[in-house]
Amino acid sequence: MIPAFDYRRVTSLDDALAALDGGEAKVLAGGMSLLPLMKLRLAAPATLVDIGRLDELRDFGPTPDGGYEIGALVTYAEAMAGTQLDFARECIKGIGDVQVRNRGTVGGAIAHADPASDLPALGLALDYEIVLRSSRGERVVPLDGFFHGAFETDIAPDEILMSLRRGPLPAGASGSFQKMAHPASGYSIVGVCAIVVSDGGSISHARVAITGVGEVAYRAKGVEDALMGSDGSAPAVAAAAAHAADGQTVNSDIYADRDYRSKMAEVYTRRAIDAALGR
């Protein structure tokens, strides 16, 4: 049973921000994450502020500088249909089922910060920033560092996640998303997004982000550092992938214990980098 709560459907951003000022409310978008938590009584907000009618949060597309911006209320299905990046499309295609992808929102997934969610890893690898707004004004924060812990982010109680924004990808960038999915839920036991640029026989750009392994999705900076300047050969990729779980308290559960998950992080990191390099 869902605990009792007040419900407020807002029709303007100003109304939404005013409703959040007290700090006792939660934003409701697609409801694919928050409502299950409420059913389990892991969340019990006093008020739900339904922002589903705020059309200004539904825009998405290229920015003038060649980057990309996607509104918080854009659904998985809309994002999948709109992206020109094959690896992003494959990532989103593996999230949930058709109903979840048609209803769940990009902003909701990022704000929810599930440790096994795929979208945070995709966003980290693409160097996205988060646009947040409150009655105090707007601020932009990098996605790298935005996740504080499982289901914990940098969003203040009175803030709304407006959009995700990134700059242009480096010339020649290619990517891949590889995951070891839970057979029932589709959540990542291990999920890895790799984006690389190989220029003149040397890796000149490397972004590797991993989900399902630690407390939050994270940039595998040890992997990135090892890749940069390397020749991208199979031995170089294998050596870099060995750093996949560096600095992480690796999850251990009935699906994969700590040792197995650590090894799979290495394996899927190598697969993602190899696929990004066209091997």
pLDDT in tens, 124-143: 999 999 999 999 999 999 99
CA nearest 171: which of 210, 204, 217, 145?
A: 204
Q: Of the segments 14-28, 29-43, 177-191, which one has the largest average pLDDT value?
A: 177-191
Q: At what angle do helices 258-276 and 234-241 cross, to 10 degrees?
A: 140
For the chain, domains (ranges, CATH) are 6-166 (3.30.465.10), 174-276 (3.30.390.50)
Q: 3-class DSSP state for residue 125?
A: helix
Mean pLDDT of 169-177: 97
- Average pLDDT of the chain to the nearest whole number: 95
User: Phi and psi of 139, rounded to 5°?
Assistant: -140, 155
CA distances from 259 to 132, 228, 245, 253, 262 (A): 38, 27, 11, 11, 5
Query: What is the tens place of the pLDDT at every residue in 195-245?
Result: 999 998 999 999 999 999 999 999 999 999 999 999 999 999 999 999 999
Confidence of residue 32 (pLDDT cuts 50, 70, 90): confident
Whether the Cβ atoms of residue 38 and residue 57 lie closer than 8 Å to each other: no
The percentage of residues in the chain with a pLDDT greater than 90, rounded to a whole number, is 86
Q: Which residues contact 12 (CB under 8 A, 6 or more apart)?
A: 54
Tell me the C-alpha distance between 77 and 98, whole Å. Answer: 8
CA distances from 188 to 10, 145, 205, 234, 257 (A): 34, 21, 25, 25, 14
